Each structure stands twice: as C-alpha cells, then as structure tokens.
Structure 1
Amino acid sequence: MPAYYLLFKVTCKLFTKKQSKQIVIKRPKKTISDLPVECMQQIFDCIRDQGEGIYSALLVNRYWCRNIIPILWEQPFQRFSKVYHSQPTKYLKDRSLRLHQPSNNKLLYTLFSCLPEQDNQTLAFKLSQYRVKIPKSQQTLFNYAYFLQEFSYKDLELIIISSLQRWYTNSLLHDSFYPQIHLISTALCKLFLQRSNLQSLYFEKNFAKLDIPNFTEIDNKRPALSQLSHFSFTYSEPITTNILNLLKIISNFCNHITSLEFNLKSADYNIDIRVAIVNIIKSQYKITHFSIENISSDVAEPIIFSLKSNSFNLLSLRLSHVQLTESCVDLISQFNNLNSLTIDNCDGLSNEILYSHFLPQKLIINTLQQDITLPLLRKFGKNLKFLGLSIYYDIYIAERLLDFCPRVDKIHLNIYTDVALDYEELKRKEASWKNIIKSAYPHKNIHLSVDY
C-alpha cells in the first residue's frame, strides 16, 4: 500500500472521529498540523517501512519534517541490516549495490557536520595527509546524532569504506584504507557515545586486521550508554585491549540491558573475556533474553550461573554449541518463566531438564541425542506455538507431534541423513515430511520449513 494512501487513510479516520462529535458548533478549519505530536508520530510509524515515500514527506512542511527526522535517524545504517550480514551469498549483488550508493557518502558528510568544531578540525587535519577532505563543521538543522537509537559498528565500517572508495579515483585494496577507517570511526563513535540516546548496540567487525577505537579515551559516555537495552557482541578475531575495554565500559555504564548476546570463537573465551561477560551479566537489573555460543564446560558454568540473579526475569534463553554440565542443566531447569528455549548442538543435555516448571511457547532443540527428543516434546509440547527440531528421518516422531504439540502452528526441521543425497531426493523427502505434518494436523495450516 503506498505510503501517502496509508497516511491519508489514518489521518481521515482520526479527523472523522474528532469531527463527528462537533456537528452543531462550527469551529475553525482543522489541518493535520493541529494534531498532537504523539498522534503524528503514530501516523508516521505506520509508514516508516513504506519505502522511499517517507523521505518525500519531509518536504511537506516544517511540522512534518520535525516529526519524521527522528524516525529516519533512529537507524541511519539500516541499509546494511542484519539480514544482509546473515545471508551474504544470497544478497551479494544487492549488498554490492547498497555498498556503492551515493547516499552513503551523503550520510557520512551529514555525520561529519554534526561533529563539534574542535573534533571536526582535528579529524580534518589527520585525514589531510591521506588526501581526504571533509566539510567544515557547520550548524545543522537538527542534532542528528541525538536521534540515533540503534548502532551497528560493522555497518559504520561499511559506510566509511564505501565513501573512501568513492573519494579515491584509483582502485586501492581495503588494507590501504585502514588508517582512515580507524580515524573516522573513532571520531564518529565519540560523537555517538557523547550525543546520542542508544537503545541497541550491535558490535561486529567487518575488517579482521583493523582494531576498534579505544573507547576509554572517550569522555562522558554515561548519557548514551545508560539507556542501552540491547547489546550484541559478535567477534571472531584475537582479543585486543580495546575489545576488553569496551566490555568493561558496558559493565560499568550499562545496567538496564534486557537482551544480551555473545558469539565468539571457542578459543577466544579467555579468562579476561569470561570475567568481563560475567560482570556485564551481574550488573544488569532485568535480563529477559540471553544468548551465547561456542563455550566449553569450564566457561559455561560461571557464565550460566551468573544468570541466577536474573532467573525470575529471563524469558528467552539460547545456547548454541555449549558444553553443558549437570549443574548447568539443573540451573536452567530453575528458570521458571522461560517462554523461549533454544538448545542448539549442545553437549551434555540431560533428563534433568525434564524436571523444570517452565512451559515455553517456542522450543528449538537441535541435538542428535534422539533418546531425549520425545521426552522433551512430551514435557513441553502442550503450550508450544513454534517447534524447531534437528532429527533423523524419523516418521515416528512426526506421527506423534499432534499428541504432544496440539497448539503448534510453526515447525522448522533440520533433517539429518546418514548418506549424501542428491537434490531431487532431498526435495522428495521434504515433500513427504510436509505430507506427514499435514496429516498430523489435518485442520490446521501449519507453516513448515525444512533444512538439511
């Protein structure tokens, strides 16, 4: 539905209700600008995902502009959204087109104009030796950085490299841009941490050989970080001092995080990283979602046990490639309010989990311990709406699904086979699974997805 049609429809509805009670008394003609700011923001929220239409709405008048700018600058890097990072092959062509958009250059120049004059001059001087010119600091119509609510460090790196490639006429390798990328990212991170109101921070690097800024050199970080509610840390390179400093800053300045996610290589969970993660967890008042990947049993125990203080608040737990101990499983069974549980390729999952009292609506169990699959479905199935399973080609389990999971409406299957099968054979097996699920739930339209 076109953005303007949707906006017109919502506005007419609001005015119809307002005018229907005022038939007798004539009042001055109302305009959309007479609506309270809260109403305008709700209207624009309805069209924020309607493509380019919301951009042209900026030009209607100043009132519209003042209400739309904060929405556009909540996620200025969203063109490099998580879906493009998670499926780089599928979106390779689109990613390439987005990476070389002229708008990337405009975005970076706008951010430069938000820098304090002294920081702008310092950055300009340091970049001049690389023949990079940035615009002088000038008064902007809005403090754009203030509206930033979601920040992805990897997206910032991509925006910078995109602009650098446009500024240089000759084709250079990414390695030659590292000094410029580091200078620009440091200046903009300082801007974001001092002048924004961050809600979500996704920390992942795009360039393996490039270290992150030294966040300890940035003063007055508390205002931006104190409101942080989501922190996602994905890192696959050797741990540096600056990385440890970042994690320490998160534990020192952030205590309202509700969603925490950590994904490192198993070898990178050294003692300093473990302590930093535990300190971050312990400093939070209300963690509702927690996710961690690739940890051994000696790392798992202190981290999972640090969640104990949030056991009442925890609603969603995701463990992937985690070596569980009996003590870990016992503690997980005490998280009585879990509504979503994902156990993905974790060793050590035992029947102790069957003594838990939580009744999740979403359950994902990717395990080759087939002896525990049916007991888990029998235990948790009655409330499930979403079920994810990794199983062998086991018809018996499919036939029992309705008995154990009467309310499920979405099923995702990872099917393991003992032998390599060609594409046609895999598609035949997928079709047979879909027929079995359809037979098990004859009166429901089950959404089924299958991977191999």
Structure 2
Amino acid sequence: MSCSKIFSGDLPEITYYIIKNFQNDFSTLYSCILVNRLWCRLAIPLLWENPFSITNRRVNNIGDHKFIEIYLYNLNSDLKSKLNEYKINDNLLPSNTLFNYPNFIKYLNTSNIIQSIKKWTAVKVIKDLDSESEFRRLIQTSLFKVFIENEVKLHTLEIEVFSSSNYNSYNYDILELILQNTNFIHNIINLKPYIFSEEDKLMEKSYYNCSNTLNTIILYHIRSINNLNKIFEQLNVMESIHIIYCRFLNSSFIQQIINLSKPFKLKSLFTCGDLKSELLILLLQKSGDYLENFRDDLSCCDQKLSELIIKYCKNLKFLDIFTTTNQIIYQIFNLIENINYLTINCGKYIGSSILLQNLGQNLPSRLEYLNLILHIKASDFEIFLKNSQDTFIKKLLISNSMLNGDDILPYIKEYIMKEKRVRYLTFEDIANNELINLDDEVEEFKLHNIIVQNYSYLCINEYQFIQELY
C-alpha cells in the first residue's frame, strides 16, 4: 500500500528522500524522470546540480554534452546574435525548456567546464571556423553570464590553474568575470582552489565575497598566498581547512596563523617532509586539536616532534607516515587507536620487522584502509596476521619492498582469505608483480567474497579523498 502511494505521489516528502539517495547514480535518475510528473520534478534538480562532472565519468560520449545547448537557450538576444556570427544559429538551441535549468546548478569546476565546451564544440562548430578558440571562450563567458544573471546559489566552486596550461587564459577569463560579479560566490560553502601558478593573487579577492557562508577551503599545490591572516580573519563561519602539498608552509605562513585571533581549524595537512620540525610544532600547537588527516615524511623527525604529534593530534582518522627511525615506529602505535585510514611506509628492514611484530595488537577493531609498504619477512608477516585477527580491514594494500622477498601469499590465504577479514585486497612486490595478474588466485579469493584489485587503483588519492569526505 505504501509503495503504491510513493509511486502515485501521495508521499512527496518520502519520495524526495528516496530519490535523493540516487544523487550520483545518473542512470537511475534518468529512469526516475520517466515515472511520473512528481518523480520528474524531484529528479531533475539532482541531475542538473553538477552536469559538467560528466567529464570525470569513466564513460562519456561527445553527444553527452548537449546540456550546454539547453543552458544557451537562456542567452539574451545580443549573445545569441554573436553565436550566429560563428555559424551557430538558433535552430541548434531548444525552442523551449520545461525547467529553468541554470537555477539547479550547485557545483562548478573550471576545468570540467572548459573540457565540456571543448567536446561540445568538436561536434557543433563548423570545421572551417577560423577561430575555434575564440568561439569556445565566447561559449564559456556566455554560460557564466547565464549563471550570474539567474543568481544561482552555488554550493561548491573549484578553480584549477596550472603554471603551464593551455587553458589558463580560459581560467583567467572565468576568474575576472567572477570578481566582477561578487554576488555570484556570496553563498558558496566550499571554495577549492587548485593553483599551480604564480597567479595565486587572483584568488585572494574571492574569499572576501563569501565571508558569511564559506565553511570549507581546500588548498591544493598552492605556491603562495599573500595576506593570509587578513583572508582568514574575514571568514566568519570557517569549519574546515585542508592544506595538501602546498609550497607556502614557511615561517611567514606559520607566524600569520599563530597571530590569528580566530581558531585555525586545520582538518588536513599533507606534506612531503618539506616542513621544518620547529614550524610543524608551532602549527600543531595552534591547530593540532582540529587535525583529522595527516601525512608527512618523519624519517628525520626527532623524538620531541613525535611526542608532540601524539600530544596535540588526538583526533586523527587518516594517517600516512614514511619513516626510517625505529623510535618513531614505536611512537606510531600511540597514534592509531582511533585511526580509520592508515598508511605506513618504512624504508628499513629492522624497522619493518619491529612494526610487523607489534602493529597487529595495536590496531582498532575495524579499519577502512590499511596500506603497508615494508620490507616484509614471512615470519614477521605471520605474527602481524595472528595478532590482528580481531580486526576487520575493508581495504588492505601490501607492498613488499624487499629484494628476493619471501612468498607471503600462503599466509594471506591462511589468515585473511579463509577468515574473510578483508573486503578488497591488493599485493605487489618490488618488481611490480601483482596478485591481480594471477587469474586463478583472483578467482579463489572471489569465492571467499574478497575482491582483488590493482594496487595503484586501490591507493587513496589524497585530494579526491578530502573532496569526498568534506
């Protein structure tokens, strides 16, 4: 009875929450719009929240970018006239639309927009067009003007600028247009600049225009930010800051953070060991209580720093550490009580042995992800497996760095496969021989409900991980 009410539209609130569960399942959403009028009205906004993400999907055809034409329907007469100059006439645009589709958009990524326009123009542009580049720039500008004029309420804006990219001129056009229309980003909650160039100053102005809505910032590979303290003092509802492989982690940056009157809610810090110990200590003293995701090279770390990491970083959920120091290895065991995602890369044989002999009994009862990059001796590995029998590991990655290493596959079968303690598994040796290439073994694991995957595929990509989590 209740099912028939849902399909007939008698329970619109419940129906909405059911359909919302398919938010990223585009095939199912397309099916939903064909059920009835209510389902169509509920599914269409979800389909049009992030249409340019089609560029990131594993399967997409050039024809999939026809949604651009629907957006162009909203152009004013002047812009439509400019399209005619490029031999694109009104017949290519829809004569009418059922919805105001621009109003539904919530997510924009500049690179995805540029790529989508490129694929669309590959089909729509007359082949002898003299300046396809100028035409693409016109389409890009026109789309943003449509979004601005419709006063869309963006949730997330991702801006990607690379130091040596043919697309940078397009990106700068977008940035300039945004900065000329600051209300466009007034309601943004997530601002994610991925900037690899010296033009970081272009971003500084944008922060001021969403001071009362912006609660998440992801800084990825940014080389420098000027007036950082002024920027963050303006952000009134900031809840989550993520720094991923940035080049500006110097004494000037740290001092600006220390001088902030507001909390610096640093949730993620990923470095390659290029942050000096004394600066890292100061940063952890300021923001360690907020830190949930941490990646660093601690091979040159002293005991004092490791002790301070334990002292200030009690809320870690993600930990990725490279070390060659035995003392640090012992300290690691004090960090993993509440860890969900753990990667340990140990560059020494003795350290690997110590780790395998002591890690198992220190693991939590469940791990989402465990990646061990070690010099693995079979007897040590067996000790680890015996000691960790009470831990379920959703994704287990093993990389044996030892030359002429022992065969550990029998132990994996005995303690992991038969006990069904893992959902996804990957294993490689120093010669890049992978378990996934052994078809018979893969099928055997499959019979025990364990999926063997490629090592690089199963490895966490840090910024994608942060994007999905926050």
Normalised by the length of structure 2, the TM-score is 0.70
Q: Name the CA distance, whole Å, in 2 between partners of 1:261 and 1:216.
A: 21
Q: How far 1:166 moved relative to its partner?
A: 0.8
Between the aligned partners of 2:360 and 2:374, the Cα distance in structure 1 is 22
Change (3 A) 1:219 1:320: closer
**Higher mean displacement: 442-451 or 391-400:** 442-451
Distance 1:390 1:300, change over 3 A: farther
C-alpha change, 1:237 and 1:32, in structure 2 (3 Å) is same
The 3 A distance-change label for structure 1 pair 189 and 335 is: same
* Among candidates 234, 238, 258, match of residue 283 of structure 1: 234
Superposition deviation, residue 146 in structure 1: 1.4
Partners of 2:135 and 2:382 lie apart in 1 by 57
Compute the displacement of 1:369 (Å).
5.3
Aligned partner of 1:197 in structure 2 is 153
Q: How does 1:179-258 map to 2 (within 5 A)?
A: 179-194=134-149, 195-205=151-161, 207-212=166-171, 213=173, 215-217=175-177, 221=181, 223-239=183-199, 244-258=201-215
Match of 1:259 among 203, 213, 216: 216
When residues 332 and 218 of structure 1 are mapped into structure 2, their CA distance, relative to the original with a 3 A threshold, is: closer
SS in 2 for 1:64: helix
Partner of 1:445: 392
TM-score by length of 1: 0.72
Contact 2:218 2:243 in 1 (8 A): yes
Match of 1:354 in 2: 307
- How many angstroms does 1:353 deviate by? 5.3
Which runs of no fewer than 5 residues in structure 1 stay unpaired? 1-7, 16-29, 85-93, 418-428
Conserved in 2, the CA contact under 8 Å of 1:332 and 1:353? no
In structure 2, the CA distance between the partners of 1:370 and 1:227, relative to structure 1 (3 Å rule), is: farther
Say whether residues 1:390 and 2:345 are aligned partners.
Answer: yes
SS of 1:409's partner is: strand
Change (3 A) 1:260 1:360: same
For 2:412, the equivalent position in structure 1 comes to none
CA distance in 1, matches of 2:136, 2:194: 20
Q: What amino acid does structure 1 have at the position aligned with 2:322?
A: T
Partners of 1:291 and 1:219 in 2: how far apart?
24
- Indicate conservation of the 8 Å contact 1:382/1:404, yes or no: yes
Superposed counterparts of 1:96-107, under 5 Å: 98=60, 100-104=61-65, 106-107=66-67
In 2 relative to 1, CA 183–344 (structure 1 residues): closer, same or farther, beyond 3 Å? farther
- Displacement after TM superposition at 1:344 (Å): 3.3
Is residue 123–residue 184 contact of structure 1 (8 Å, CA) maintained in 2?
no
> How much does 1:60 deviate?
2.8
- Report which stretch shifted further, 255-264 or 299-308: 299-308
Shift of 1:163: 0.8
Of 366, 373, 386, the match for 1:415: 373
Question: How far did residue 449 of structure 1 move?
Answer: 1.6
> Is the CA contact (8 Å cut-off) linking 2:23 and 2:46 kept in structure 1?
yes
1:437 to 1:281, Cα distance in 2 relative to 1, 3 A = farther
Rounded to whole Å, the distance in 2 between the matches of 1:57 and 1:201 is: 28
Structure 2: state its 5+ residue gaps: 402-470
Question: 1:46 pairs with 1, 10, 21, which one?
Answer: 21
* Identity within the alignment, %: 19
> What is the distance in 1 between the residues matched to 2:157 and 2:378?
41
- The aligned amino acid for 2:169 is L
Aligned to 2:363: 405
* Higher mean C-alpha displacement, 382-391 vs 348-357: 348-357
Residues 1:301 and 2:254 are matched in the alignment? yes
Shift of 1:159: 0.7
SS in structure 1 of the partner of residue 50 of structure 2: coil
Runs of 4+ in 1 over 6 A off after TM superposition: 430-434
**Displacement, 1:40?**
2.0
Aligned residues: 384
- For the residue of structure 2 that corresponds to 1:253, the secondary structure is coil
8 Å contact kept, 1:430–1:450: no
Match of 1:35 among 5, 8, 11: 11
When residues 449 and 31 of structure 1 are mapped into structure 2, their CA distance, relative to the original with a 3 A threshold, is: closer
3-state DSSP class of the match of 2:392?
coil
**Alignment correspondent of 2:410:** none
- Cα drift, residue 46 of structure 1: 2.6
